[in-house]
Structures are given as structure tokens and as C-alpha cells.
Amino acid sequence: MVSSFSFAPFVFLLLVIGGTARPLYPLPGKGDGGSKRPLQTFRPYNIAHRGSNGEIPEETRQAYLRAIEEGADFIETDILSSKDGVLICFHDVTLDETTDIAEFKEFANRNRTYEVQGVNMTGFFTVDFTLKELKSLRVNQRFSFRDPQYNGKFQIITFEEFINIALDAPRVVGIYPEIKNPVKWSDGKRFEDKFVETLKKYGYKGSYLSKDWLKQPAFIQSFAPTSLVYVSNQTELPKLLLIDEVDIPTQDTNQASNSYWEITSDTYLDYIKQYVIGIGPWKDTIVPVTKSYVTNPSDLVERAHARNLQVHPYTYRNENEYLYFNFSQDPYKEYDYWINKIGVDGLFTDFTGSLHNFQEWTSPNPRDDKIESELLHKIALLVSPYE
Ligand SMILES: *[C@@H]1O[C@H](CO)[C@@H](O)[C@H](O)[C@H]1NC(C)=O
Ligand SMILES: *[C@@H]1O[C@H](CO)[C@@H](O)[C@H](O)[C@H]1NC(C)=O
Ligand SMILES: *[C@@H]1O[C@H](CO)[C@@H](O)[C@H](O)[C@H]1NC(C)=O
Ligand SMILES: *[C@@H]1O[C@H](CO)[C@@H](O)[C@H](O)[C@H]1NC(C)=O
């Protein structure tokens, strides 16, 4: 997959930083006779967590282009708001960890303290910066052990720019945006309203696997059940409830620390399945880990599947510090376990290419064979008159 060709988009994109020019690859329906290669639906989904962020700083255009190039079925993002109400793709509520904000003297007095999910947090909050100010920053890798060569090079992007990356892809690539709990929201509109309006503006609609959905696939994810219930009145797009670590209270329910057990109970799954088509649990809650060894899996996947709920666990990472000893430091072995033993329906990965290569190796996309055999057939027809 890695060829010299793969770096072509970066060269061009470096030239357009700061501008709004669209990259030079075919527009939807252009250059391929209007029939894009469809989303594969026969094997678990490869969900590019914050783009191919194992290689390139998270949630940047370049991380998403890389993920598409490497075979992502869906590109994943977190939606927050700028001070001037523009929806942006950014994971943390503060800019401190993953941008170069510390280098900007003019912003030095913009640190604030807000209560975020019951805890007072201090830092540079995205919501205190206009889009223009946010665009002047550059994104860095979150982890020091990841390739630093792209640090300080790429911008934060807006939700609309993110959508255009998916729509401009040379094959059908789905989007998987997360509704975050915004720290504050002042213009009277609910964050969820703007979120759904943006999806509608770009034509995202339809229930799971419907004709509309297959044309522009999207999953809506949130840790906050009330957000999912709220948007269920506004869009038929499939939704998934994210589930955190067992000791983290469920967002917006303000429950005690046993809330994990409550939201994974049979009763709760029966309730939430009216609104969602699946759940997205932190993987260590399905297969608990002790001293870096995986122990026996819980029955959560079975109970979800019994209700026709999909399970998309997060997050798969190649690095040794994330690979438990049972997998012999081999990410393929981990994918094999989760796909073939646990039987999940989608995987959030930081390394799109590794998951894609594993899936192509173990369950190749039959469409590829078909394309190849059609091509061979055409070549045979061209050749045969001369035989
Ligand atoms: C912001 O940073 C300055 C300088 O480090 C510090 O004095 C101030 O207390 C900080 N403000 C907040 C709200 O944390
Ligand atoms: C956060 O700080 C404010 C102001 O000091 C205080 O009133 C509030 O109780 C604090 N909240 C938490 C959760 O500690
Ligand atoms: C959704 O719409 C129904 C019917 O109009 C209404 O009764 C319900 O309160 C709405 N739910 C939400 C969460 O807005
Ligand atoms: C993982 O390895 C440990 C240590 O060998 C073993 O006890 C445990 O059963 C293994 N886990 C699974 C799910 O096989």
C-alpha cells in the first residue's frame, strides 16, 4: 500500500494550507463514470479513528486522506465548536495537548477554567477561539512515540471540510462523527441541531443500509444517551451509543460509578435499541485485562447481538504498549481474536492500513476479484483476435 504515489496529496496540500482550495482528486461521480466503488458491507467495518492518526496528527485532512488511501470504510471524528459557532473536528475540549498553542504569545492570557463533566479543567478551550484563530494553529501528534515529522504542519479542519474529504474520495467512504458535550453553547441553538443540520445540508440521510445511506454512509456516535435520543427525531441515520470504562459515569446521566453496569444491562439495551443500531464499547470492558493479559470475555457482545445491535469497540493500536501479551506484540493476532473469536461488527483503529491489510489477507473483498477478473476478461478479448 505504501508507494511513492501515496505522498502526492501531501505535497499539494502543503501548498494550499490556509486556503480553501479543494484537493486535486476526482469529485464525486467524476472521473469514474458516476459509479463509485461501493462501501463493503460483508465484513466488519474498518473505522479510521481520527483518521490514520497512528501515522499523521489526528483529525487533520492529511490523516483522513491517508486513511482513505489505506482502505478505511469510515473516517471517524469528534465535533466541537469554535467561539464563533463553527463546528470543527477536534477531540479534546482544550488545545493544550495536540496543538502548538503554547507558542502563541498573543493567546497566552486565553487560558480558562471550566467545569467539564464534574471536574474543573484549566487550559485553552477550543470554544474560546474563533475559527480564524484556530486555523492559525497547527496540530501535533498526541503521543511522543509516534512519528513527529508532521507535527506543526497541518491545520484543524471544520466539520464541513471533513465531510467534503469523504464525499470527494474516489470510492464510497462513510463518515462517523461523534456528538461531543460542548463546554458551553450560547446562541440558543442546541449543539445537536447544528450537527444534524450540517449532515442534512450535505445530503446525509436514510436508515442503515437504505439506498440513500449506501450512497453516503454515516454513523452518528455519542457517549450521551440523551443526545442520541434527541437527534433520533431529526434523522434516521444509524446511531451508536459509546460506552466508556466501567468506572466512568455515563455522560449526561449523572449517575453513580455503577452506571456502566446499568447501561449494559438487558433492560437498558432493550430500551436504547429503539434509538441505536449498535454500541461502541471500550474494548477492555468486553475483554477485561489483568496485568497486560486478556481474561475471559464478558457476555456483552452476545447480549447485544441477541438484540440485533452491532458492536464497534475502540481503539485498536499497533504499539507494544497497547498490545496485550496474549497477542505476542502482533496487531494481526489481536484483530484475528476480535474479529474471529469475539465477532465484532466494526473496529475503531489508529492504524487503518494494518486492519485493512489483515482483512484483505483473511477475507478479501470479492469485488476486488471481480474487478480483476473483468479486467482480465477485457484483456483476453483484446488479445484473442491476434491469437
Ligand atoms: C492562566 O495562566 C496564567 C499564567 O500561567 C496564570 O497566572 C493564570 O492563573 C491562568 N489562568 C487560569 C484561568 O488558569
Ligand atoms: C470549580 O471551581 C469553582 C470556582 O472556584 C467552584 O465553585 C466549583 O465548586 C468547582 N467545581 C468543582 C467540581 O470542583
Ligand atoms: C420526538 O417526537 C415525538 C413526536 O413528535 C415527541 O413526542 C417526542 O417528545 C420527541 N422527542 C424528543 C426527544 O424530542
Ligand atoms: C492470556 O494469557 C494468560 C497467560 O498465559 C492466560 O492465563 C489467559 O488465559 C490468556 N487469555 C485468553 C483469553 O486466552
Residue with the larger pLDDT of the pair 377 and 300: 300
Contacts of 281 (CB under 8 A, 6+ apart): 242, 243, 264, 300, 311, 313, 314
Residue with the larger pLDDT of the pair 296 and 22: 296
Alpha helices in 232-288 (DSSP H): 259-263, 266-272, 283-286
CA of 120 to the centre of ligand 1 (A): 14
For ligand 4, mutation pick of 283, 290, 293 (most atoms within 8 Å of CB): 293
In ligand 4, the atom with minimum distance to the C-alpha of 297 is 13
Is 118's C-beta closer than 6 angstroms to any atom of ligand 2? yes
Does position 173 have pLDDT exceeding 50, yes or no? yes
Q: Where do the DSSP E strands lie in 26-172?
A: 45-48, 74-81, 87-89, 112-116, 119-123, 157-158
List, in order of start, the domains of the chain with CATH numbers.
4-45+52-57+66-71+162-181+190-386 (3.20.20)
Q: What is the pLDDT of residue 99?
A: 98
Chain segment 89-110, per-residue pLDDT in tens: 999 999 999 999 999 999 999 9
Q: Is the peptide bond before 315 cis (omega within 30 degrees of 0)?
A: yes
For ligand 3, mutation pick of 233, 234, 235, 271 (most atoms within 8 Å of CB): 233
In ligand 3, the atom with minimum distance to the C-alpha of 233 is 1
For ligand 1, mutation pick of 112, 115, 122 (most atoms within 8 Å of CB): 122
Residue closest by Cα to atom 11 of ligand 2: 120
Rounded mean pLDDT, 314-333: 97
Q: Are 206 and 174 in contact (CB under 8 A)?
A: no
Residue closest by Cα to atom 10 of ligand 3: 233
Does position 10 have pLDDT exceeding 60, yes or no? no
CA of 119 to the centre of ligand 1 (A): 17
pTM value is 0.86
Reported as type and span, the H/E element at residue 230 is: helix 225-231
Question: What is the rounded radius of gyration, in angstroms, for the C-alpha atoms of the chain?
Answer: 21
Rounded mean pLDDT, 18-33: 47
In ligand 1, the atom with minimum distance to the C-alpha of 111 is 1
pLDDT band per the 50, 70, 90 thresholds, residue 367: confident
CA of 38 to the centre of ligand 3 (A): 34
For ligand 4, mutation pick of 294, 336, 341 (most atoms within 8 Å of CB): 294
Nearest Cα neighbor of 88 from 106, 61, 115, 110 is 61
Burial of residue 357 (number of CB atoms within 10 Å: 0-12, 13-18, 19+): middle
Q: What is the pLDDT of residue 184?
A: 55
In ligand 4, the atom with minimum distance to the C-alpha of 296 is 13
Pocket-forming residues, ligand 1, beta carbon under 6 Å = 111-113, 122
Amino acid at 96: D
Distance between CA 38 and CA 56 in Å, rounded? 26
Does position 150 have pLDDT exceeding 90, yes or no? yes
For residues 378, 379, 380 and 385, what is the CA-based torsion angle, rounded to 10 degrees?
100
Chain segment 334-358, per-residue pLDDT in tens: 999 999 999 999 999 999 999 999 9
Distance between CA 79 and CA 64 in Å, rounded? 15
pLDDT band per the 50, 70, 90 thresholds, residue 185: low
Does position 378 have pLDDT exceeding 80, yes or no? no
Does position 12 have pLDDT exceeding 50, yes or no? no
Residue closest by Cα to atom 8 of ligand 1: 111
Is 34's C-beta closer than 6 angstroms to any atom of ligand 2? no
Give residue for cell 470554544.
127
Q: How far is CA 195 from CA 43, 79, 160, 179, 234, in A?
A: 29, 8, 10, 7, 10
Residue closest by Cα to atom 5 of ligand 2: 120
Distance between CA 294 and CA 324 in Å, rounded? 7
Please report which ligand is nearest the Cα atom of 233. Answer: 3
